[in-house]
Amino acid sequence: MKRFHCDCGNVLFFGSSVCLKCAGKVGFDPAVGLMVRVRPESVMKRCENGTLHGVCNWLLPAKSSAVLCLACQMNQTIPDLSIARNRLLWGRVEMAKRRMIHTLLDLGISLPSKREDLRNGLAFDLVSSFSNPNVTTGHLNGVITINLEEADDTYRQINRQHLNESSRTLLGHFRHESAHYFWMRNLSELPWDSADRLAFRARFGDEWLDYSATLNAYYQNGAPVDWDQRYITAYASSHPWEDWAETWAHYLQIVDGLETCESLGIHVKHLALDLVMLPGDAGLLPSMLPQSAAADGAFLAWLQRWMCLSTVLNEIASSLGEAPLYPFVISVRVAQKLRLAHHYAQSWGAPSLKPRVH
Ligand SMILES: [Zn+2]
Ligand SMILES: [Zn+2]
Ligand SMILES: [Zn+2]
């Protein structure tokens, strides 16, 4: 995440609604990717989910007939607000959703809503499993469903321990489910022998494996003992689609995490730590894709900066008596999967070809 500034020069953050120095009202303009001041005469207005419910700080053009920002317009279903607790949980869910959407837009990846593009657009169902016991977090045909209860820290931590996960966050859910959406939208309809499909198979395995059978086997037997040499998480070993989703989620996490560190002035060159070095083949794309030693090297340098900075995050967490903030190991094979995710992000982004905001 970038660092933002108010007109008065004070620093602002992605979740800011008011400048703490000049008390000016501010909001995020997704069309330009910046925090801006909101005044009565502004060309931008607040999203109604912000003014009515306090769960959004995004803006939309004042002259628009719409009342919701582009992130809130993607909601098909919102929680039952007659239950007071749901508003608190909903605010957390919307914050995570906006952060993921911002990262994707910043990569230049278009995100039409389902109303704009029924076939390839994206929509969200945000529903509590307390209201509807059939609700589970997942993706189907461009609709990402998030169980609102995942915004309850106790509920989520119990699930995390039950599922033997090292990390479980709302933001991680959104990033993970976005991978299933992009698979459907950008990969599933390519010819099976296209370079991007073959590259997927080369890195993640045969996606035609029986999904429910392999998932059931994972839940019965767990991950292979050497999973951390081949996968970013244990769950990624359950099926190639889940490996892709965990890898893509992790890629977005590094994009955001590294940008946050560096925008705040935490640069590897300032650290009293040696850079973690991966071998050169960790940056390779599968052979059916165009090869570029320069692009591979740039990717590896980026990844290694993050691996070094994540060591700092973990050491600071230890100093505070907390568990590691970044409980992951990036093996060579995982780096190669992240490299393919980076390739897809770049080819889907093409900001010069696609409008940034729909
Ligand atoms: Zn200010
Ligand atoms: Zn909004
Ligand atoms: Zn999944």
Ligand nearest to the CA of 211: 3
Report pLDDT digits (tens) over 198-221.
999 999 999 999 999 999 999 999
The pLDDT score that the predictor gives to residue 131 is 86
The pLDDT score that the predictor gives to residue 351 is 53
Q: Is 289 left (phi over 0), alpha (psi -120 to 50) or beta?
A: beta
Written as one string, the DSSP assignment of 213-228 is: HHHHHHHHH-S-TTHH
Structure tokens given for 357:
């905001």
Written as one string, the DSSP assignment of 129-172 is: TTT-TT--SEEETTEEEEEGGGGSHHHHHHHHHHTT-S---HHH
**Structure-token match 């959104």, residue found:** 174
Q: How far is the CA of 212 from the centre of ligand 3 (A)?
A: 12
Structure tokens given for 166:
């090292």
Q: How far is the CA of 18 from the centre of ligand 2 (A)?
A: 16
Confidence bin at 197 (pLDDT 50/70/90): very high
Q: How far is the CA of 329 from the centre of ligand 2 (A)?
A: 36
Question: Can you give the residue ranges of every domain in the chain?
Answer: 4-68, 74-166, 190-358
Ligand nearest to the CA of 12: 1
Q: Give percent of the chain with pLDDT exceeding 90.
A: 88
Average of pLDDT values for 277-286? 93
Q: How far is the CA of 90 from the centre of ligand 3 (A)?
A: 22
Ligand nearest to the CA of 101: 2
Q: Which of the two residues, 340 and 357, has the higher pLDDT score?
A: 340
The pLDDT score that the predictor gives to residue 26 is 96
Q: How far is the CA of 238 from the centre of ligand 3 (A)?
A: 10
Average of pLDDT values for 76-94? 96
Phi, psi dihedral angles at 243 (to 5 degrees): -60, -45
Decide the pairing of beta strands 4-5 and 59-61.
unpaired
Residue 48 has pLDDT above 90, yes or no: yes
Structure tokens given for 318:
């230890």
Structure tokens given for 22:
């000049």
Confidence bin at 354 (pLDDT 50/70/90): very low
Q: How far is the CA of 16 from the centre of ligand 1 (A)?
A: 11
> Per mean pLDDT, which range of 189-193, 266-270, 289-293 is the poorest?
266-270
Q: Is 324 in contact with 317 (CB distance < 8 Å)?
A: yes
Ligand nearest to the CA of 19: 1
Report pLDDT digits (tens) over 99-132.
999 999 999 999 999 999 999 999 999 999 988 8
Q: How far is the CA of 24 from the centre of ligand 2 (A)?
A: 19
Q: Which of 182, 212, 98, 82 is nearest to 146 (CA)?
A: 98
Report pLDDT digits (tens) over 144-195.
999 999 999 999 999 999 888 888 999 999 999 999 999 999 999 999 999 9
The pLDDT score that the predictor gives to residue 44 is 95
The pLDDT score that the predictor gives to residue 353 is 41
Residue 355 has pLDDT above 50, yes or no: no
> Per mean pLDDT, which range of 83-92, 201-210, 263-272 is the poorest?
263-272
Q: How far is the CA of 184 from the centre of ligand 2 (A)?
A: 26
Q: How far is the CA of 196 from the centre of ligand 3 (A)?
A: 20
Q: Is 69 in contact with 77 (CB distance < 8 Å)?
A: no
Q: Is 164 in contact with 158 (CB distance < 8 Å)?
A: no
Report pLDDT digits (tens) over 53-65.
999 999 999 999 9
pTM of the model as a whole: 0.95
Residue 357 has pLDDT above 60, yes or no: no
Q: How far is the CA of 241 from the centre of ligand 3 (A)?
A: 7
d(CA 175, CA 250): 8
d(CA 236, CA 132): 28
How does the average pLDDT of the chain come out, rounded? 93
Ligand nearest to the CA of 138: 3
Residue 45 has pLDDT above 60, yes or no: yes
Residue 142 has pLDDT above 50, yes or no: yes
